[in-house]
Amino acid sequence: MSVELASVHPTRLELIRLRHRKAMADGIVDILKKEVDALTLNLLELVKKITPLRGKMYTTLREAFTLFVEAQMTSGSKRIEEASLVAQPIDFKISDEQKKGLLGLMFPVFQLIEGNQILGPRFNPLDTPANLDESSSKIKDTLYDIVKLAEIQESIKILLEIIATKKRQMNRLQFKILPELEATIRYIELILEETERQDAIRVRVLQRKRKELALKRGT
């Protein structure tokens, strides 16, 4: 810091400039704090959504698996395996768009799109139990929840990165830039005070000498 102070011109102009910079830095820190607060609130709202959605997804998956096992129990594991070999596959696509959110940040929007709408049963209705269809339908419902969860988790990831960046910026301002500015301002003020003091002494000395000279001339 002494190297940096040595490079500073200790003038009044520089002091004014530095004070102006400090005021701006204080303002930026305030704005950053408010932004971090807003982003944190948004983050907490998203986090609150995750737990019930995850719970719903696990419950539906558990029900789907139970129904699948019950289908194996009633019709036989081999029969169900055979049916699954030739079941009509459902094509899913995920559309990945972005939408503007808080503070103009771009958040992802995932949407699950069924590629081919299957009109009718996926399995032979004469040969397979109804709980196989029910299981298949629950798995399909779960996929929508999974995609929604992925969207929320991605948004949380983005928010966490932005919050971390802003906090780093805030910390840099608060603990590096502002103290440096304050130190520099203090330094310049001290130099200027010292200069003023010396000037005052010089003026007093000069005045005394002038008085003495005037007195000598008068006699």
Partner 1 sequence: MCAWKYKRIMPKLTVDKLKLMKPKRITGLVGMSLHHISSVLENTSYNTQISEVRSKELTSISLEGALLKNFIKTYEEIMELSPKDVRLLLSALLMKFEVNCVKAMLRAKKAELSVEEAMKYIIPAGRLDEASCRKTLENSESIADVIDLLSDLEYGSVLEKAFEVYLEQKIFYLLEVALDRHVYYKIWKAIGKFWGLDKKIARTVIGLEIDSVNIKTILRCKAMGVSENQIRQYLIPVSEVLGEKELEEAMSGLDIQSTLNSLVKSAKHALARDHQYVFAELQDLHVTSLTTLETVLDRGLVETNLRIIKRYTPFFNIGLLLAFLNLKWFEIKNLRTIIRGSEARVTPDRVEKLLILQR
Residues that bind partner 1 (CB under 8 A): 66-67, 69-70, 72-74, 76-78, 81-83, 85-86, 88, 119-121, 123-127, 129-131, 133-134
**Based on CB atoms, which residue is closest to partner 1, 104 or 115?**
115
The distance of closest approach from Cβ of residue 77 to partner 1 in the complex, given in angstroms and rounded to an integer, is 5
Q: Specify the residue, 127 or 196, whose C-beta has the smaller distance to partner 1.
A: 127
- Nearer residue to partner 1 within complex by CB, 55 or 125: 125
Q: Give the shortest CB-122-to-partner 1 separation in angstroms.
A: 8
Q: Answer whether 111's CB lies under 8 Å from 147's CB.
A: yes
Burial 30-66 (b: 16+ CB within 10 A, else e): eebeebbeebeebbeebeeeeeeeeeebeebbebbee
Q: Least CB distance from residue 141 to partner 1, whole Å?
A: 14
* Helix H or strand E segment including 141: helix 130-172
Residue closer to partner 1 by CB (options 77, 198) is 77
The C-alpha atoms of residue 102 and residue 104 are separated, in whole angstroms, by 5
Q: How far is CA 42 from CA 103, 107, 155, 159, in A?
A: 11, 12, 10, 8
Shortest separation between residue 91's beta carbon and partner 1, angstroms = 14
